[in-house]
Amino acid sequence: MAKRPVPRYDFKAFGAAIKAAREGCKESRKKVGDEMFISPRYLANIENKGQHPSLQIFFELIQRYHISV
């Protein structure tokens, strides 16, 4: 049986929105990482490289910064 093609979604716009919101709140990556129990590097990759966050982290970020998806 053939595999169903799975589209890759571009998360760069989401990352840019998170970065803008975080900087607008004057929060450092370290502060956010400590509060969300993620590494600052993981947050940087989400913001700058469009890394796909886990569903839990995605949900927490959109709630934290009131971002519409």
pLDDT for the residue numbered 36 = 98
pLDDT digit string (tens) for 11-39? Answer: 999 999 999 999 999 999 999 999 999 99
Q: Show the tokens assigned to 57.
A: 């982290």
pLDDT of residue 5: 86
Give the list of residues 6+ apart from residue 23 with CB closer than 8 angstroms, or none: none
CATH 1.10.260.40 matches 12-65 = yes
pLDDT bracket for residue 66 (50, 70, 90): very high
pLDDT at residue 65 in the model: 97
Looking at residue 39, its pLDDT comes to 98
pLDDT for 44:
98
